[in-house]
Amino acid sequence: MSTLRLLSAAALLTLATSASATSFVITTDWIVDATGSSSDATSSSTKDDKVILAAREDAASFVASQGAIRGAHLEAALQHIHQQQPGLQATDAQLAEAILAN
């Protein structure tokens, strides 16, 4: 487990320094839009979304392995995100980064 955390931390550091502005804007805009406060009680929030929360460890593995490891929780979260935001133009890697940043 500590190896996974070390790999995740290293991957996040690498991604933080090498991420393109476009991917950062796309993922952060989506997170802000999805988690922003709303007076609508029915609005969904990825911050509290159980599908997204369950995918954090899989997202870390995905990012650390540069996409080689795709866990079931991450796959479910990616499908969930695409259903919630059908017009979202983001790669799986960008979404995994956003899940980790959330």
By residue range, what is the domain housing residue 7? 2-35+44-101
Identify the pLDDT of residue 19: 46
Q: At what angle do helices 21-35 and 92-101 cross, to 10 degrees?
A: 60
Burial class from Cβ neighbours inside 10 Å (0-12, 13-18, 19+) for residue 28 reads middle
Residues with Cβ < 8 Å from 47, sequence gap 6 or more?
Answer: 35, 102
* CB-based contact 52:98 (threshold 8 Å): no
The mean pLDDT of the chain is: 73
Residues 48-86 have pLDDT tens digits of 688 999 999 999 999 999 999 999 999 999 999 999 998
Domain count of the chain?
1
pLDDT the model gives residue 7: 62
Report the Cα 88 to chain-centroid distance in Å. 13
| pLDDT value for 14 | 56
Predicted local confidence at residue 6, as pLDDT? 63
